Structure 1
Amino acid sequence: MSEGAGDRAADLAAPSDDGSGALLWALHRISSLAVAAPEMGALLRESLAVLCDAGPWCAGHALIVLDKRLAGSGVFHGGSPALREACARVEFAPGKGLAGSAVQGRSTAWSGDLGEDPRGAALAAAGIRSEVVCPIAVGGEMAAALELFSTASEPPEARVLAMAGQAAALIGGVLERARAQRSPQLGDDMFRSLIEALPVGVVLADPQGKALYVNPAFVQIAGYGLKEMIDGSWREVVEPEHRERGAAAWRQVIETAQAQRQEYRTTRGGITRTVESLLGPMRGPGGELRGFVAVVEDLTAQIDAREALRESEDRFRAIFENAGVGLVLAEGDGDIVRANRAYARFLGYNHPDEVAGRNVREVLHPEDRARAQQMRNELRSGRTTRYEIERRYLRRDGTYVWGRSTVTKVADSPLIIAVVQDIDARKRAEDAVRALSGRFLRLQDEERRRIARSLHESAAQTVAALAMNLARMERMSLPPHAAETLADSLELVTQCSREIRTLSHLLHPPLLEEAGLPSSLRWYVEGFAQRSNVEVELHIADDLGRLPMELEITLFRIVQESLTNVHRHSESRSASIRLRRSGPEIVLEVEDQGIGIPGDVLERVRTQSSATVGVGIAGMRERLSQLGGTLEIAAASPGTLVRARIRSER
């Protein structure tokens, strides 16, 4: 800026109806205080008054740095005595509060959350909802900070924050240079330096609208400078559809002295920018027109960010609405914010809007609501970020369908999103398979009972008759070799009769129906120990009593299968069986002291229920599942533990 331009800039120095022009006037006024108010207290007091009058703030306070702490200075501007008193007593430790953070970071800061401010009651009584803190550095050290209070909850525009920060920097410069330089020119020099350092573009013009000065930021943002402003060649940079509109806006400001906001695009060197210009008058102390100011900001990055966000939202909306599975966006308490078409169809509704606004509890089976609430609470508390659950949903027609939900907390948001898959057909198929499997097991038991009865009533009787005939022949006079053959035959017949009886009892122990499970297990364990040379300890609780026949058959088969596995695979010479009640459950445990199951095989056994883990184990699991029971297989020390749990009402 030339010396003449600096003088004219000093003349263009009074607030107008436009915020940016008023703040430029405030900056010039503060720069002039270097002569009038060199002492810190007076300078801070006058600066607060100027900034509050020119900016969007209703009160201001100056903090000073004492032993690295920020303390109230007694310098206050505003109409609230309670707030003035609270500010005089306030103190912030290094880095604490908005003021401490701003001073520590050496940058202007804004906050709309004043809940933790020690002056909270006074701020609320004064209607204060937000605050700007501008640190003041003197000689490279933090010396003070300006607090500017507002009743608005929204942050001021970036250019306003930038100018507030420049005001603080200007105050620091005034304090540093006031005693060394006490000439009127100091204010103009500081004002010129300040404008040249602003991140927004600034144009100063005389009362006829002739451009007098543009700062470096304007040249970088607009793509042209003072020369182009004067000779009119700026039109070559501004895109054609915006040229006349921009010129008309400037003429209107000159003719009416009313502020105007204008947006236009410039292209230079193949780079296109979107620029916003805020045009306004600058008036003298008596209200007379002294000139015009334009504050220019580059909106290109903001517009690009908004466009990228819009495209991202469009993609999300398309994916959300057209997904083949149900998608739900809900509050943490379960209130549905948004649902897609697939979710609405899953619940039997015609449109997603019929589902939005309802709570998830309303569309869940009553028995599944408590579990769903528990999982949501864990999600909200942060103990988990994701969970999966299979549950029943209530359709519009009152019927229930099965769905599998994968629920995830949306990052940095109170919302949760759920992916809901329709698994009703799979559940019905599983029920059908389970019913078919149950029928197969019943037929299997019935067939075993029939075979056992046939062996007892037919084969066993035939062998018995054969034994009687051979016994009659034993009393006859036979040659020695014939008598020896007869003796061998009698022994074979006796062994055959014993094996038929054992096989018949194993297929269907008659003691199960006659004496119950405990007697049948004692008989079986005794025979197993004789056949296998495995010592078995049997512990049956005294209060076990009789159980339903289907349950007793299931537990007997599990003992059979478990002991067979001990004999074939464990290499154990002993085993133990424990049968007891635990509340409403019957608990059966079979444990050996053998070599155990390898870790990878044990994991496969735990996680798979198909025949890939063995027909015997799959059969035990299937029998228990038919009666609502569970099978657990775990490593013991040493050996393996098989535990079956099943409910019994008697």
Structure 2
Amino acid sequence: MSSVLSLKDSSRELLVEILSTLNPYYTDVTEKWREHVAAEFGFGRRELGALERLSLNTAHSFFSHNDLPGFFENVDYFGMRLAKLQVDTRAVARSLEIYQELCEPYLSGLFGARLKEVIATLDVLKSATFVTVSGAYFDTKTREFATLLRVLDAELASGDIGAMFEKVLEITSANFGASMAAILLRKAEGDGFKLECSLGVEGLVPDDTEFELGQGFCGSLVATGEPDMILDVGSDPRILHDGIKERAKSLWGVPLKSGKNVIGAMVLGFARPYEWLPNERDLMRAIGDRTVMAIERAQMTEELRAREARIAELSAHLLAAQEDERKRISRELHDETGQSLMVIRLYLGMLEAQLTGRTAKGKIRETVSVVDRTIEGIRRIIARLSPLMLQELGLVAAIRKEAKDVAKATGIKVRVAINEDVGRLAPEIEAAIYRVVQESLHNVAKHAQAKSASVQMSRHENSVYLTIEDDGIGMPEKVNTPRSHSFGLAGIKERIASLDGEVRVHSEKGKGTRLEIMVPARLYQEAMSQTA
């Protein structure tokens, strides 16, 4: 974000003059500022230290060496640190205001008639600083979401629980910069637990290592059920293996909890002393929670294999959980990421109004354009994760919107024909039909090489009939076999089976594919009356 503040040379010169003139007073101002901010927000040493790195005192140390990019790189770094410390952006903005307000009595005596110009120049610097901090917050939140989505993808893509554990440890280690990682799980019988999967500890801890409850650092995690950190591994008596002391300086650990029961622990080791920040602790805990969910899902899958009579019920539960997860991610994108982007756009607009240089204004407009495209992209993601149109206007409008979006994105002509007598259906039926249409059109766009497709839906007595057809290359014969590994089609079949519906697939090489679906027509009013 350092390029945002493209001030003309005279403005930069004035900033250097202001910051240099204030130099004798920074010690007094900073002391008063720390007292004021600590009293107003209750911040501790780490929060105050990071906020101080955004102040005019810090700016002076960079501007005095004509290092404008260096200052904004510093702001970006400490903006990310503040995000991980979970400091609200409003508190960041207020701390910048307080520092400038404490400087103004000195400025009045130092600059006299030029005070108005001086204040305006400092306001520009303050706005640019906050815009950079907001961008750092957005980047931090984006990385968190990306990490959780990669973990989710690993859970869905891994063929077995062991492969999933390895992938989760790889993703987690890479995200935090850890040199070693391990997952330990409780044994089926007794209070002990054993090493289930590890990275970077080869030769340090035997693969068949087992621990008792409360034994060592991992045992204490399982016993207490609370996250913990060892900042100095060499001096902590809970470290049982000398090899760990040689290779790691700090350890982070979170328990793996299923409900109230602790089923294991996840541990990361670092080659340097590394004290975690609140956001890092919460993200590691969230990864642990997702890992537990994957373990539970694997256990449910084993039950499904053993008890085929319960397949429909458990599949419905998993699909509902997936819908809830989509809605949760959608809400967080809207409430946090979307709002942060709007704040960035607002401050960019304010910054543009205060700048005079044509080049600077052009850069601001380019940045606003990037932000607008990002906002539009997030809106598309939100619509795909949890379409508001389905909830507010119903299934018909949502299907037409999906078809229109696919046509616009791919050039495939999509015709939608829905009889008027379909009406509103129960929410779970509408959601299932919509996801089937969404997945089917996605498959057509990705695999079918089709020029056109159609979606037809009608209702006859107590059933709804859905047909999705394309003129593409058709599906390979093996996709229609009982042992098919087509995840998309398998997901469609599971969704419809959970509603006591039926799925039929007709496809010939070079003659396209037709998907025929029937589900019971449980009406919206009936569903609402049962939940009332």
| TM-score interval for Structure 1 and Structure 2 normalised by the shorter chain | 0.3 to 0.5
Structure number with bigger Rg: 1
Higher strand share: 1
Taking structure 1 as the reference length, what is the TM-score of the superposition?
Answer: 0.32
* Higher relative contact order structure (alpha carbons within 8 Å, sequence separation ≥ 6): 2
Taking structure 2 as the reference length, what is the TM-score of the superposition?
Answer: 0.39
